[in-house]
Chain A
Amino acid sequence: MKVSLTWLNNYVSLKGIKPEELSQAITLRSQEVEDLSPLVDIEEGVTIGEVTGCRPHEEAEKLSVCTVDTGEKKRTIVCGADNVAEGQKVVVALPGAVLAGGMEIRETTIRGVHSEGMICSLSELGIDEKYHQEEGIHVLDPAAPIGSDALEYLAFNDTVLELDLTPNRADLLSMHGVAYEVAAIFGRNLSIPDPELITSEQANTVEIETQTEGCQSYYGRVLEEATIGPSPRWMQARLIAAGIRPINNIVDVTNYVMLETGQPLHAFDYDALRSDRIVVRDAREGESFVTLDEEARTLKAGDVLITDGERPIALGGVMGGLDTEVTSSTRSILLEAATFDPARIRRTSSRLDLKSESSMRFERGVDPQKTRYALDRAAALIAIYASAAVRDGVQNVDRHARGPRDVTLSLNTLNKVLGSNYEAPAVRDVFNRLRFPYDEEDEVFTVHVPSRRQDVNTYQDLIEEVGRLMDYNALPDTLPTTLSIGGLSSRQKLRRHLRRTLSGLGLFETMTYSLRDVSRIDDLTLENGKPVELSKPLSREHHALVRTPLHGMVDVAAYNRARKQESIHLFEIGKQYTSEAERERLGLLMSGPYHHHRWRPTPPTDFFTLKGVIEALRQALNLPRFHYEAITLENYHPHQTARIYCKGKSIGHIGKLHPEYVEPQGLEDVYVAELDIESLEALQQEDYTYAPVSPYPGVRRDIALLVDDDVPAEALKDSLASVMPDRLQSSHVFDVYTGEKIEAGKKSIAIRLTLADPEGTLRSEDVDALIAEGVEALSREHGAQQR
């Protein structure tokens, strides 16, 4: 809502209040002020002049040399506008004036002619083109007094306060409402005059019938013998200040009164109606109607139609029809002031994407007490400014329930909710300033809420009124006295643990969008499934919910690779979204040198680098052993991908991305893994288990074996562990060899065993026996030969 301060001053005196103070007070006690600026950003030097002579410029075809009488002198002014002519009253910017946009006017010589000022267009005064359709200079009416301030004459010397309204405050969509608010904030008097309407002998004969619940009230007046023309300057200026384009005296009055009262109005060309009836009904499904913006609208059953009994003439509460629009030839007018079901207006206007000043007000609810007032006020103004005769009587249907809305608030409750220590006189003062009538008994206030404040329905709403007008910043700073124990859940602790461990290992946490391209949604997952898609996607890129954080992470890797980042090591705690559940997933991605040495050799980053990170994480989380089983997975390297198991349960996967998948994205050698966080949480051991450290040193033995190439090392180690469960402390593969010295299809693998007896030192012959037993098991189970 844009508020003209000149206009506001008509209802509540702003004397002694600087615009900045007003703005600050409204922000702290009512609504956020978005902007405070002059309607026209010109300080001085714009005057009214008369063109007393006008001849073509001898050296420039498009220019005219004008003699302009600005009162104190006659000036020569070179003008480029086509429409300049002798006898016009015009707006003259004198030398020294600074126009909107910062253009400074100076005496200057244009093609040999000395020019002492500029004749201005509305745009040059800073009136946006959306408010006028004038080409060339602005021509004032002949009565404009030469030599006086042009901005004052045009009523442009105004300041506009723009309020960022919250949707509950429908009352502030009117100048009256803003006046009530400002009067309450500053404790000032308020004067809102009643309309002074003189009617003719002729009676209003329109019959009004409402057939739908969607229309709550409908008031009509008829005016005759109207003269269509421009509205008065002050009204145009106020409309412009409010952000509405002046059109003609009839339309401008309906808009003006809407701004004044918050009650939208509509004027029909009475002679264009096919009957003397107004029938308000529900639209029929699929019915078509041409609104006055010349668009054919297809309607639905919930829309409210105003008809003349034969054909639709307006889409109720949203927009009038083209056929009954007021035009320059209109003589008689049917003036409508009605109220509609807010929810239905909202549905209609959002479905048709047709937001108007009127629909905006109906959606939020208008004051039913203002409907008749607005109708009479508009009729009175049209009578004055379009010289129309108002027929006697108002025809109406009104279903609004009348009667006061009483809301009770005790001083005790007020202070209990705010934590304040306010006393009854302060509360009385607030209600008085708000002009809320009330009864008071034992510090309990029964407030009779005026209908203009439809947002005040509960005692909490009254607490807000008192709280804000007393200023919330006056409240003390205390803390809740509720005693409670704070803390993290095990999942929350796990997440923090993951973040600390992985960042400590040199990985960077990423945060990527959950919405992605649906066609790629299952690119990197173990299982495919039905994606969760938006019904109206934001775009192709943000279409469906991801099924793994890896998706976004690969994009992050590509982005960074394109920016010459060598080491890209990432993790993200993301989600797998399905129709049934959201499961948290840990994504890991490694590409490029890890622990890079730069000026000396660094081992290449490969599958085992990432596996090492996973194993470090496993140990940090105190999880049991992981098993890795080679698998094939689309978009992954067919021979470098594995599923990860823990305690026999699949908990994720690890693998190199297929070159054909990553190369188009400018990447190579990308290793990723995904772990299911819920599984990790379930597998976490509650606490550490302690076993005494053996005082005896272990015995180390190496064995070299020849096995088939496809025998996994883990299987060999498992066999050894099962043969000597109590004695085997650790086993590590320290050499793997295939090549010339080994027969094809075989590999040589060397394992270092550390054996120990917790009870004593192992004797050499015991070790020999254990090793022999182990080798025997490897031979039996895996066909291994000792080398």
Chain B
Amino acid sequence: MAVPAPDRAFLFEKGRVSMDVNERIKALEEKLIEALKKVEDHNDLQQTKAEFLGKKAEISQIMKHMKDLPEEERPAFGKAINEGKQRFSELIERKREEIRRRELDQKLKQERIDVTLDAPDYTPGSVHIIHRIVEEIEDLFIGMGYRIEEGPEIETDEYNFERLNIPKDHPARDMQDTLYIDGERLLRTHTSPVQVRTMLRYGGGEPVKIICPGAVYRRDDDDATHSHQFYQIEGLVVDEHTTMSDLKGTLLRVAREMFGSDREIRLRPSYFPFTEPSVEVDVTCANCDGDGCGVCKQSGYIEILGAGMVNNAVLRMSGYDPERYQGFAFGLGIERIAMLRYGIEDIRHFYVNDLRFNRQFT
């Protein structure tokens, strides 16, 4: 027989084989722990695994001696070996997880971003501020049970003026210098013709409760405060018991919706051929709270709309019997509302559509 391998010698030198096996495995385990410390990656780990658990690994060699042992010692021997292998595997798998985690961390590190970089432009566009305000007012009135009526911008003298109690050669025509297309047709100077058309359609037999938004036109040179085209909303309520106090209460709600719940309004006598009595309505200046400042020209109030009780002549021409029906009407310019509300200094901004302007109302 050749010189025995050291392990064999070891095994047989000591009489108590199983004891020796445990110590041997313990030594191997410490060796493995040392070896694993040097393992850098999965390759190294694979080699170390082969070295400590492979067919040629020491622990596998020790296993071969089991057949040489007495029958009664075999179970203890086998158990020691298996438990050793189990621990080795655990050590190696723990290392594998450590490497995987480290490699993933490495990979994620590569994916580091500058979170402050700009996002792509998925930003929404915007609804034009004038239409936004129109919708706000529409919603206020829909909530109070109004319908929204519309009509043509190319109107006739009859609907724009005559049926509104403004006959030809009436001085009130100066109040609304008109863009004519021909002798009869014109660009409407207000949305009042929609009210006339609506009343005629209703036929004089039922109450009317409407608002009429739309573009209107006047012969004006465009400057910071004048525009030949602007947007108007008019309102009309006709019923058997519609009062001027109803008008006042309604306009107070409009003013507060537009300018804030702490606003107050003030009615001043005025004149429109289609209403009698007629008033102009001021709202307390939001800038100074009514104390007087540059914005309100020291008056504490800013004019926002015109209104009144529908003139009987208009009711009659629209098929409503003034003996039975009475009503109120009002009209406001949306650009003016927007200018006051946001401090916009030039009415032309609304029609130029500089995106740097429009974007502010996204």
Binding site for B on A (CB under 8 A): 27-32, 166-169, 342-343, 346-347, 363-364, 416-420, 458, 460-461, 463-464, 467-468, 472-473, 475-489, 492, 496, 499-500, 502-515, 532-536, 538, 542, 545, 556, 559-560, 563, 565, 567-571, 575, 577, 582, 593, 595-599, 602
Contact = CB atoms under 8 A, between A and B. Distances in A.
A483 B241 CA distance: 12
B284 to A, nearest CB: 12
A488 B134 CA distance: 13
B125 A503 contact: yes
Interface stretch (B11-19, B156-164, B354-362): B354-362
A417 B286 CA distance: 31
A497 to B, nearest CB: 12
Contact of B245 (A477, A500, A506): A477
Interface string B43-60: 000000000000000000
B145 A482 contact: yes
Contact of A28 (B215, B266, B350): B266
A509 B280 contact: no
Interface in B93-131: 117-118, 120-128, 130-131
Given A416-B241, A500-B127, 12 more contacts: A28-B266, A32-B268, A419-B244, A460-B276, A467-B269, A479-B250, A482-B145, A503-B362, A509-B125, A512-B351, A556-B352, A582-B153
Given A419-B244, A473-B267, A534-B181, A478 B249 contact: yes
Contact of B277 (A27, A460, A482, A507): A460
A485 to B, nearest CB: 6
Given A460-B311, A504-B124, A475 B209 contact: no
B153 A577 contact: yes
Given A167-B174, A492-B148, A503-B125, A542 B228 contact: yes
A476 to B, nearest CB: 5
A560 B354 contact: yes
Nearest to A563: B354
Contacts of B187: 514, 534
Contacts of B268: 27-28, 32, 472
A754 B215 CA distance: 49
B243 A416 contact: yes
B244 A475 contact: yes
A532 B179 CA distance: 12
Nearest to B179: A534
A475 B269 contact: no
Contacts of B278: 166, 464
Interface string B236-261: 01010111111011101100000000
Contacts of A503: 124-127, 362
A545 B143 CA distance: 35
A748 B287 CA distance: 68
A32 B229 CA distance: 26
Q: Please name the 8 residue pairs, one residue from A and one from B, whose CB atoms are nearest each other, closest first.
A: A419-B245, A419-B243, A166-B271, A464-B277, A343-B169, A477-B249, A486-B142, A472-B267
A511 B131 contact: yes
A559 B243 contact: no
B180 A535 contact: yes
B197 interface: no
Contacts of B126: 503, 508-509
B276 A458 contact: yes
B146 A486 contact: yes
Interface string B339-361: 00000000000111111101100
A468 B277 contact: yes
A569 B355 CA distance: 10
A32 B270 contact: yes
Given A418-B243, A484-B207, A508 B145 contact: no
Contacts of B249: 476-479
B172 interface: yes
Interface residues of B, number: 85
A559 B245 contact: no
A467 B244 contact: yes
B277 A467 contact: yes
A556 B147 contact: no
Contacts of A472: 244, 248, 267-269, 277, 279
A482 B117 CA distance: 58
Interface string B302-313: 000000010110
B353 A556 contact: yes
A563 B356 contact: yes
Contact of B246 (A30, A478, A511): A478
A316 to B, nearest CB: 16
B46 to A, nearest CB: 40
29 contacts: A29-B269, A32-B280, A166-B278, A347-B169, A419-B243, A472-B267, A472-B277, A472-B279, A475-B245, A479-B246, A479-B250, A480-B239, A482-B145, A482-B239, A486-B142, A486-B143, A496-B135, A499-B127, A503-B126, A503-B127, A506-B125, A508-B359, A509-B125, A511-B128, A512-B353, A563-B356, A565-B355, A565-B356, A577-B154
B70 interface: no
B326 interface: yes
Contact of A167 (B172, B242, B311): B172
A167 B175 contact: yes
A480 B122 contact: no
B339 to A, nearest CB: 14
A482 B209 contact: yes
Interface in B214-239: 215, 217, 219, 221, 228-229, 231, 237, 239
B144 interface: yes
B135 A464 contact: no
A487 B144 CA distance: 10
A507 B309 CA distance: 42
B326 to A, nearest CB: 6
Contacts of B117: 599
A511 B253 CA distance: 28
Contacts of A502: 125
Contacts of B271: 166-169
B310 to A, nearest CB: 9
B265 to A, nearest CB: 8
Nearest to B238: A482
Contacts of A417: 243-244, 309, 326
A511 B245 contact: no
Nearest to B241: A481
A508 B276 contact: no
B312 A460 contact: yes
A346 B245 contact: no
B141 interface: yes
B175 to A, nearest CB: 7
B159 to A, nearest CB: 14
Contact of A346 (B169, B253, B350): B169
Given A169-B271, A485-B145, A487-B142, A363 B171 contact: yes
A416 B326 contact: yes
A514 B121 contact: no
